[in-house]
Structure 1
């Protein structure tokens, strides 16, 4: 069949609620049901205390900063991210949660500015404002023409992949799954007659088989499949064996890319049987800039993942990881020193997966499949 490489932009958590929502043109109600911070504007003030003034009523492009020009220059064939917030004005607060994210629906042009082709919703914040908030989120995204996967008004809708065309009469299918290990309450699981997320279990071989059964049923010859998975803890580089086994089962069952997220910083990169497995992409946009406590992970440093696949096989040709830094709640190029720090950490933590990560003088990290006989 031949053809040019297919390049995907993959992003981790895009958290446009709470403090980020407050700096956009249409800030929602800043009240928060949190134990220590009761006003979302406090997160903006914490960031300002570290790095300086942040404009209010900032343009919708502000949080993306220099990432937008980088993406335009890279011209990926598709853009996929994890949208980790509800899009609602609902006050139906989900019980038993310490942190709640919502953005005003009128601020959705901020998400649209990145031109995502699919937003994964199976995560631990999409129902922060209840099933009313989820319905608002689904309606708002649909009205804006933004494709989603992973959440729905029932299980069938939550499991339905986002599908869009690629060149050469191919399609890209994006499935979105969430795991309780990321903090998703089990009550958020969608059922045949209840809205929610597609909740799976990384410790279950049967759950992996169920997902790959759906992948094989939906995938046509020439299609590429991304399985976007929200799993694991917020901090740390160790990848549990259950997650590794689940990721490998996904690839064995027909997934071309495993797009993992939930951790607030990047986690190891693996090339398994020629296919990229991203165990944690880290946050891309959030309001954590002024929050202390985990400085050793440098969560101010972010990555744009540009993954180029062979069109016929879906195998990795190469991946470019572009380091950025959050500064005044806006993404900017990371310094060479900071890019070098990210390279050292990712190269070291990915070594256990036999993955080599190179680092060029401009700071970009590059992954290529291992060369075998």
Structure 2
């Protein structure tokens, strides 16, 4: 924001100078304006900002003794829950609030404000009490460590591993350091959740010799990237998407094997439809959870489908099943899977991948599939695929996140650079609170945002 102020001043100064250029003696050299601009920038960047705020509980009561910190500066709240942080550098950052018997809270501070706004007022921060009977989920959108993360110009043939590139975030010969850096801005937020989830929209292989023969966009991630997910607290990924089968059966098998080797659980893909539809079931803080994952993007216009099917055309009998993602178009099987999990007393999360890309609201067919999942008994519906954030709704008692957008993804379209994370707290099989956490993909990497961009 300070940069904008400098540019505005520079533009006004240039306009004044040009309008008065009656002769060489009166003309102001361009270098003078550049020096003035640099001086203003330096003055802004060297200035500091103070912030004042308040920390309360969910009932609005002040919390005394909470530690509020940002950029290495900390302060404890007083009896009225008030705090003040002074002389902060003008650098956007995450503010952290910690208090005994409460969940840690983070807020993205926008400190690059106008210099006259001092101190910077903040709305009260509301902390949530810790509860051993609650589980906090955090769902993120589409993720891959592929393509431009390895090759910034995306020129490598799809059946080759990119050569190491000094301009790439991730090096093929040693993927883990760059994969860790890809999550630097968001790792602490992921770790705040009891159960963070991403849609892993990529095969995982070291042998990309079987690319889909007719699909336009195909790519793969390297297995050396996977430990970065575990280190960020992610133990489960959804696979019900239209890219898990980009390298056909061999690539799918590699993907399932590498995820298992690295301790990552999954649902939404398998060697048969039965495997693909099988929910991942676990227990979090005493609650039984079922996670179902499927895609409606089946690849039906191609000879090689993206989804698992009971029978593919062959020249002999009997026909054989094909692996792939769970097919959301199989409404009977999807509804039955959800209903069975619900009947077992589980909290059911349906993760749906489909709809029209680059739209701000779900298409009618996409929303119809969301309501179908809710009618079958899903308690929470999480949707992705359009690559942009969409809205929220309730249907049949289920909370629906209609589209999360991208999370860690290498698209260059401006509308794909804003996304959402869905934070959902569950107690006694019921959603007790939920919020959307806005993110911005900076160089394809997610970071939390606030202010106008978040709105």
TM-score bin, normalised by smaller chain = 0.7 to 0.9
Number of the residue aligned with 2:185:
66
Q: Any idea what SS the aligned residue of 1:187 has?
A: coil
Number of the residue aligned with 1:134:
252
Structure 2 CA distance for aligned equivalents of residues 190 and 264 of structure 1: 23
| 1:233-287: CA deviation from partner (whole Å, max 9, x where unpaired) | 2201232222222212211221111111001111111122332111211010011
**5+ long unaligned stretches in structure 2:** 1-130, 311-320
Number of the residue aligned with 2:322:
194
Given the alignment of the two structures, is residue 254 of structure 1 paired with residue 377 of structure 2, yes or no?
yes
Number of the residue aligned with 1:92:
210
Q: Is the 8 A contact 1:60 1:113 kept in 2?
A: no
| 1:202-226: CA deviation from partner (whole Å, max 9, x where unpaired) | xxxxx43432222222335541111
Number of the residue aligned with 1:325:
440
Given the alignment of the two structures, is residue 300 of structure 1 paired with residue 417 of structure 2, yes or no?
yes
Number of the residue aligned with 2:403:
280
Given the alignment of the two structures, is residue 171 of structure 1 paired with residue 294 of structure 2, yes or no?
no
Q: Is the 8 A contact 1:11 1:281 kept in 2?
A: yes
Structure 2 CA distance for aligned equivalents of residues 218 and 94 of structure 1: 33
Moved more, 217-226 or 88-97: 217-226
Q: Which has the higher contact order (CA 8 A, sep 6+)?
A: 1
Number of the residue aligned with 2:347:
224
Which of 200, 203, 213 matches 1:83? 200
Structure 2 CA distance for aligned equivalents of residues 119 and 176 of structure 1: 9
**5+ long unaligned stretches in structure 1:** 24-28, 49-53, 202-206, 341-373
Q: Any idea what SS the aligned residue of 1:307 has?
A: strand
Structure 2 CA distance for aligned equivalents of residues 94 and 143 of structure 1: 25
Given the alignment of the two structures, is residue 110 of structure 1 paired with residue 110 of structure 2, yes or no?
no
Shift of residue 157, structure 1, vs aligned partner: 0.9
Structure 1 CA distance for aligned equivalents of residues 147 and 246 of structure 2: 11
Q: 1:43 to 1:178 in 2, by over 3 A?
A: farther
Q: 1:182 to 1:322 in 2, by over 3 A?
A: farther
Q: 1:44 to 1:241 in 2, by over 3 A?
A: farther
Which of 31, 46, 52 matches 2:156? 31
Shift of residue 33, structure 1, vs aligned partner: 4.0
Which of 390, 397, 421 matches 1:267? 390
| 1:116-158: CA deviation from partner (whole Å, max 9, x where unpaired) | 2321112111111221111100110011111111111112111
Structure 2 CA distance for aligned equivalents of residues 107 and 325 of structure 1: 22
More helix by percentage: 1
Number of the residue aligned with 2:134:
5
Given the alignment of the two structures, is residue 233 of structure 1 paired with residue 371 of structure 2, yes or no?
no
Shift of residue 17, structure 1, vs aligned partner: 1.3
Shift of residue 21, structure 1, vs aligned partner: 4.2
Corresponding residue pairs, total: 308
Structure 1 CA distance for aligned equivalents of residues 228 and 299 of structure 2: 25
Q: Is the 8 A contact 1:6 1:311 kept in 2?
A: no
